[in-house]
Structure 1
């Protein structure tokens, strides 16, 4: 009876060690993930990337610099921005002569508690237009929408 108990104990210890090793490996992969490549500012991808950086820094003026003045702001959300870091991945883009679409993936999972990919990720798009040789955002996902001070109630 003692040998069966010892064998079961050894299996449980081996299983626990394997789980710990997997958790450590997952943490290493996440922590060693490379930073996103910087895109040239004159490209649609670069405009979107810099807009998102300004959004995360809550830099309204810079955000406005990357957008078309007459854009629709009907989805402005007066709630304070989420304090969690923004996790957006630029997936691909379709660029024409005077218009472009940049596809992005938002990941809203809290990696501390849910290390499984794609369970709370969703795709959206930025639409850009080229005006006087400069790419500007015409429409952006509501999650990173640009609100004016009036729309925010200031």
Structure 2
């Protein structure tokens, strides 16, 4: 009887973990939805798709720099969204795991902010935080 209960608990745990799935997609017409789409593209290494979420020519930090491939073990969570008439700020928490080193922490996180502008009825990112910065027309550097 005890083994049956343990087996049932293990089975339920496995089902919960496997059906947890990916995060629920946010409305792509909102600032948070735009950031979610951008982050998904950046982490997936799809620079062309990521560029579709950027306001053209707004991020001057790309001059003379290459896009940096994002960390492999990165997780991004929505913290807050502040939406105004023509601008918005989306704050995210970026967590890095397995960052190594003999005494390194297995995980660290920082809060970063995306700036968005409403351009012809569409929210576009005018400033992305450095850990997730994609420079249009440039390949990812290692």
Normalised by the length of structure 1, the TM-score is 0.66
**Using CA pairs below 8 Å that are at least 6 residues apart, which structure has the higher relative contact order?**
2
Give the SS at the match of 1:120: strand
Output the CA distance in 2 between the equivalents of 1:96 and 1:140: 18
Out of 68, 71, 83, the residue aligned to residue 55 of structure 2 is 68
> Does structure 2 conserve the Cα–Cα contact (< 8 Å) formed by 1:73 and 1:145?
no
Give unpaired runs (5+ residues) of structure 1: 1-27
CA RMSD of aligned residues (A): 3.3
Q: Deviations over 1:61-105 (max 9, x none)?
A: 211111110222425753752451431101110001111000000
From the two aligned structures, give the one with the greater helix fraction: 1
Over 2 Å off, 4+ runs: 31-37, 75-80, 148-153
Normalised by the length of structure 2, the TM-score is 0.71
Instruction: Sort the Cα spacing of 1:150 and 1:49 in 2 relative to 1 into closer, same or farther, 3 A.
Output: closer
**Which entry has the higher C-alpha Rg, 1 or 2?**
1
Out of 108, 115, 120, the residue aligned to residue 132 of structure 1 is 120
Question: By how many angstroms is 1:47 displaced?
Answer: 0.3
Between the two proteins, the alignment pairs up a number of residues equal to 123
Out of 37, 42, 52, the residue aligned to residue 24 of structure 2 is 37
> Does structure 2 conserve the Cα–Cα contact (< 8 Å) formed by 1:94 and 1:100?
yes
Instruction: Sort the Cα spacing of 1:37 and 1:152 in 2 relative to 1 into closer, same or farther, 3 A.
Output: closer
Counterpart mapping for 1:54-133 below 5 A: 54-74=41-61, 78=66, 81-82=69-70, 84-110=72-98, 120-133=108-121
Q: Deviations over 1:14-65 (max 9, x none)?
A: xxxxxxxxxxxxxx8xx57664221000000000000011111221221111
From the two aligned structures, give the one with the greater strand fraction: 2
